[in-house]
Amino acid sequence: MAHFINGDFFSETEAKISIDDLSILRGFGIFDYFRTYNRKPFLLNDYLKRFQNSASIVGLSIPLNSTELSSVIDQLISQSPNDECGIRMILTGGNSFDAFTPEKPNLIIRTEKFQLPLEKDYSEGVIVISYEYQRDLPEAKLLNYSSAIIHNSRNLDKKASEILYHFRGKITEASRSNFFVIQGERLITPEKHILKGITRQTVLTMAQKDFAIEKENFPMHLLSDVDEVFITSTTKGIMPVIKIDDQIIGNGKVGKATRHLMELYKNFTDKTHL
Ligand code: PDD
């Protein structure tokens, strides 16, 4: 797979960054991740805006403008051997002279083989486990996912596909996705202390005509009262959740409203780039 680093293209074996980079020394940097549908970048402008927003939150500046980024991305996609791919844009803290002070950032963009979730996860729903945690600078997509990675590897045997973060009794988001609850006609999703997911925004726009939308950080103790739960992300799309810890959600099956939204989302992604 081709890699773009600071203005040049490299093969996977040639692609290198310095050992002095703050992303290695301190885990300092940001990234964003999106995918193609029909070999075209999906909602590119939205992802570029979020990448820009993450950069400004941490005080880094992206050396290319949106048109230049878009042109690099098109070139990388055209070189990708896979029908569909993921695209990762990384902006690091740069090669630091004292292992602490940020320098000129390194920009890396690459395509990745796209791993689709199992069909069974959509038809049967998934299990998530909760964990009390608040991500640092939640509106920025920071490189550091240590907590998610550690917690995930500790819980592999529990068959959970995501970790649901809550803080002071309220749900914020999952480790790599956003969280939604359906209660009758109400569609509720957390709004504060989260990464504003592009999939979340797409779902909110699509759902407007069928649901009363409420943006609030849902209390953990009310999970026993909800009809349906799902999580959303670039890689998962809309993924139904049937159990959180020991709490079965609704009747423990993928709900009608979630199926309806999954159908709308599929129609949207199918149509977007034709
Ligand atoms: N995760 N919240 C967090 C903390 C995330 O890392 C992500 C994305 C989301 C969902 O955002 P979006 O719908 O824009 O993908 C919410 C990506 C997919 C990942 O790290 O793998």
Model confidence pLDDT, tens digit, residues 222-246: 999 999 999 999 999 999 999 999 9
The pLDDT assigned to 163 comes to 95
**Residues 216, 218, 220: CA angle, nearest 5 degrees:** 165
The pLDDT assigned to 115 comes to 85
- CA 230 to ligand 1 centroid distance, Å: 14
Rounded-to-integer distance, Cα 216 and Cα 231, Å: 15
The pLDDT assigned to 114 comes to 86
Low-confidence residues of the chain, pLDDT below 50?
Answer: none
The pLDDT assigned to 153 comes to 86
Q: Are 75 and 9 in contact (CB under 8 A)?
A: yes
- DSSP one-letter code for 125: -
Write the Ramachandran bin of 15: left for phi over 0, alpha for psi from -120 to 50, otherwise beta: beta
Rounded-to-integer distance, Cα 91 and Cα 106, Å: 6
Q: Are 233 and 199 in contact (CB under 8 A)?
A: yes
Tens digits of residue pLDDT in 19-51: 999 999 999 999 999 999 999 999 999 999 999
Q: Which atom of ligand 1 is nearest to the CA of 195?
A: 2
**34, 176, 203: which to mutate for ligand 1, most atoms within 8 A of CB?**
176
Q: Are 220 and 166 in contact (CB under 8 A)?
A: yes
The pLDDT assigned to 271 comes to 85
Question: Is the pTM above the cut of 0.95?
Answer: yes
**57, 233, 236, 265: which to mutate for ligand 1, most atoms within 8 A of CB?**
233
